Amino acid sequence: MRKLKKWAYTALVSLLVLTSTESVISADNGMTTDTNKVTGGRSSQMITILHTNDIHSRVEESTDSIGYAKLSTLLKQTKAVNPNTLMIDAGDTFHGQTIANLVRGESIVKIMNLIGYDVMTAGNHDFNYGSARLVELAKQANFPILGANVKKTDGSRLLGTNLIKEVNGVKIGIFGLTTPETAYKTHPINVEGIIFADPVQEAKAQVAELRSKVDIIVAISHLGVDATSIDTSKKVAEQVPGIDVIIDGHSHTVMEKGMMVGSVLIAQTGEYGKNIGKIQLNIEDGKLSSKNASLITRKEADQFQADPAVLDVINNVKKEQETVLSQVVGTTSDKLIGDRTIVRKGESNLGNLITNAMLSETGADVAITNGGGIRASIEAGQITKGDIITVLPFGNYIQTKKVKGSDIKAALELGVSGYPGELGGFPHVGGIFFEFDPAQPVGNRVLSILIKGKQLDPNQMYLLATNDFMAAGGDQYTMFKDYPIANDFSSLEESVITYMQTIGSAVPKIEGRITVKGANASNITDTAATPSAPSVTAPALTNTSKVYIVKTDDTLWKIARLYATTWQTLQKLNSLTNPDRIYPGQEILLP
Q: Calculate the alpha carbon distances from 397 to 167, 337, 385, 478, 485 in Å.
A: 39, 22, 17, 18, 12
Instruction: Tell me if 75 sits within 8 A of 85, measured CB to CB.
Output: yes
Report residue 314: phi and psi, to 5°.
-60, -45
- Identify the pLDDT of residue 542: 32
Q: Count CB neighbours of 339 within 10 A.
A: 17
Q: Count CB neighbours of 33 within 10 A.
A: 12
Q: Calculate the alpha carbon distances from 148 to 112, 119, 195, 402 in Å.
A: 21, 13, 11, 31
SS3 (DSSP) at 589: strand
Q: What is the pLDDT of residues 491-543, one digit of tens each?
A: 999 999 999 999 999 887 899 999 999 764 333 333 333 333 333 333 332 33
Dihedral (Cα; 295, 296, 299, 301), 10-degree rounding: -170
Q: Calculate the alpha carbon distances from 290 to 47, 243, 416, 487 in Å.
A: 11, 14, 55, 41
* Angstrom distance (rounded) from CA 163 to CA 219: 11
SS3 (DSSP) at 569: helix
Q: Cα 483 to chain center, whole Å?
A: 17
- Identify the pLDDT of residue 578: 58
* Angstrom distance (rounded) from CA 159 to CA 149: 9
SS3 (DSSP) at 253: coil
- Identify the pLDDT of residue 543: 33
Nearest to 331 by CA among 176, 501, 198, 180: 501
* Angstrom distance (rounded) from CA 260 to CA 292: 10
For the whole prediction, is pTM greater than 0.75?
A: no
Classify each residue of 364-373 as buried b or exposed e, where b means 16 or more C-beta atoms within 10 Å of its C-beta.
bbbbbbbbbb
Instruction: Tell me if 219 sits within 8 A of 246, measured CB to CB.
Output: yes
Instruction: Tell me if 318 sits within 8 A of 73, measured CB to CB.
Output: no
* Angstrom distance (rounded) from CA 146 to CA 231: 18
Q: Count CB neighbours of 244 within 10 A.
A: 18
Residues 6+ apart with CB under 8 A from 204: 239, 240
Q: H or E element: which one contains 325?
A: helix 308-325
* Angstrom distance (rounded) from CA 325 to CA 497: 11
Report residue 397: phi and psi, to 5°.
-85, 155
SS3 (DSSP) at 45: strand
- Identify the pLDDT of residue 587: 77
Instruction: Tell me if 397 sits within 8 A of 468, measured CB to CB.
Output: yes
The residues of the chain scoring below 50 in pLDDT are 1-22, 27-33, 39-41, 520-545
Geometric angle at alpha carbon 108, from 104 and 111, rounded to 5°: 150
- Identify the pLDDT of residue 376: 87
Q: Cα 39 to chain center, whole Å?
A: 49
Q: What structural domains and CATH numbers belong to the chain?
A: 2-33+43-320 (3.60.21.10), 327-525 (3.90.780.10), 546-590 (3.10.350.10)
Q: What is the pLDDT of residues 90-113, one digit of tens each?
A: 999 999 888 998 899 999 999 999
SS3 (DSSP) at 154: coil
- Identify the pLDDT of residue 518: 77
Report residue 183: phi and psi, to 5°.
-55, -25
* Angstrom distance (rounded) from CA 77 to CA 59: 19
* Angstrom distance (rounded) from CA 399 to CA 572: 34
SS3 (DSSP) at 432: strand
* Angstrom distance (rounded) from CA 490 to CA 542: 50
Q: What is the largest CA-CA distance in the chain?
A: 108
Sign of the four-CA dihedral 364, 369, 375, 376: positive
Q: Calculate the alpha carbon distances from 124 to 397, 426, 489 in Å.
A: 13, 30, 11
SS3 (DSSP) at 280: strand
Rg, C-alpha atoms of the chain = 29
- Identify the pLDDT of residue 3: 39
Nearest to 436 by CA among 409, 458, 461: 409
Geometric angle at alpha carbon 56, from 79 and 365, rounded to 5°: 165
Geometric angle at alpha carbon 515, from 511 and 516, rounded to 5°: 150
How many helices (H) and strands (E) the chain has is answered by 18, 29
* Angstrom distance (rounded) from CA 347 to CA 337: 10
Geometric angle at alpha carbon 322, from 320 and 328, rounded to 5°: 130
> If you count them, how many residues does the chain have?
591
* Angstrom distance (rounded) from CA 224 to CA 233: 6
- Identify the pLDDT of residue 572: 77
SS3 (DSSP) at 247: strand
